[in-house]
Structure 1
Amino acid sequence: MEMNDQLHQQIVKLCEEGDRFAELQQVSEAIASYQRALELVPEPKEEWSAATWIYGTLGDTYFSIQNYEDAIHSLECVLNCPEGKGNPFLLLRLGESFYELGEFEKAKAYLYKAYQIEGYKIFFQEDDKYFKLIIELI
């Protein structure tokens, strides 16, 4: 399915606005922009690639402010969207979010999936504790 151009442009504009807020460390405004963009995505949202990048961006943004519950919610939604299950960065963030909530078995599963797709380099910019959790699986 293809989204009409006008709707797509509105969504892109809101996401760009959210990105600008995020760059300025105005996280609540960024989240509000991303959520407004997501509201414009037609139902069922999981069928649209726009939902993949919006849910992913929301998940990463929530992770950045240590709101791990909302990060998990957004990142679990993205798994049902186009190309969501195979995105190593989104799997990494989901695993890290579960780790931070002490759900180590779920964390291990997602971190290992990210590793399987991307290898060790996905962990280069991350805290070593995440990679250490899966080292026994490698």
Structure 2
Amino acid sequence: MSDLDDFLYEQVTELSQEGNVLFDDGDLDAAMAKFDAAWGLLPEPKNQWEAALWLLAAKGDVYFARQQYAEVVDAMMRAAMCPDGLGNPFIHLRLGQAYWELGDKSRAGNELTMAYMAAGADIFEDEDPKYLDYLKTILQPPVGQDTL
């Protein structure tokens, strides 16, 4: 698909960046409002645009911070259907965490494994250690290593 026109791309990017700053400051409602505003600017079908991936991932991250795990799954599954979404380590990380929190350990294990395979243990660095600890119960360490 062709890229968004420059003016629209700038608007979407600016709103997204503002949302990221608000998210980092802990203002989840204001961050979501910025991400929603940016989402609203995308022409239909929205999931064809590269920006849809990072906007859905950002919205999923807000849902994760709010502990709204079913909404995380919905946003991240939609993100996975966007260009470059499938195989994105962050998408798989958040999906795995959400499934873990929802009690679906099988899906959690699959998604956390994909995140680990794509990005290594570093992707878990700033996350609650329980997710990597769970992964260690289902995955063997790489050859030549004692741990994941």
Give the drift of 1:94. Answer: 1.0
Question: Which residue of structure 1 lines up, in the alignment, with residue 139 of structure 2?
Answer: 137
Bigger radius of gyration: 2
SS of the equivalent of 1:25 reads coil
Correspondence for 1:40 = 41
Q: Which amino acid aligns with 1:60?
A: D
Note the alpha carbon deviations across 1:85-131, whole angstroms, 9 max, x for none: 12112210111011111111111110011111112222222222212
How far did 1:132 drift? 2.8
Aligned residue in 1 for 2:80: 79
Deviation track 1:39-65 (CA, whole Å, cap 9, x = no partner) reads: 111112221110011011111121112
Structure 1 distance, partners of 2:96, 2:22, is 26
Identify unmatched segments of 5+ residues in structure 2: 141-148
**TM-score after normalising by structure 2:** 0.86
2:145 corresponding residue in structure 1: none
Q: Deviations over 1:11-60 (max 9, x none)?
A: 11211221232233211111011011111111122211100110111111
Gap runs ≥5 in structure 1:
none
Is 1:114 aligned to 2:103, yes or no?
A: no
RMSD of equivalent CA atoms = 1.4
Write the distance in 2 (CA, Å) between the matches of 1:118 and 1:23: 22
Report the TM-score, using the length of structure 1 for normalisation: 0.91
Secondary structure of the 1:126 match is: coil
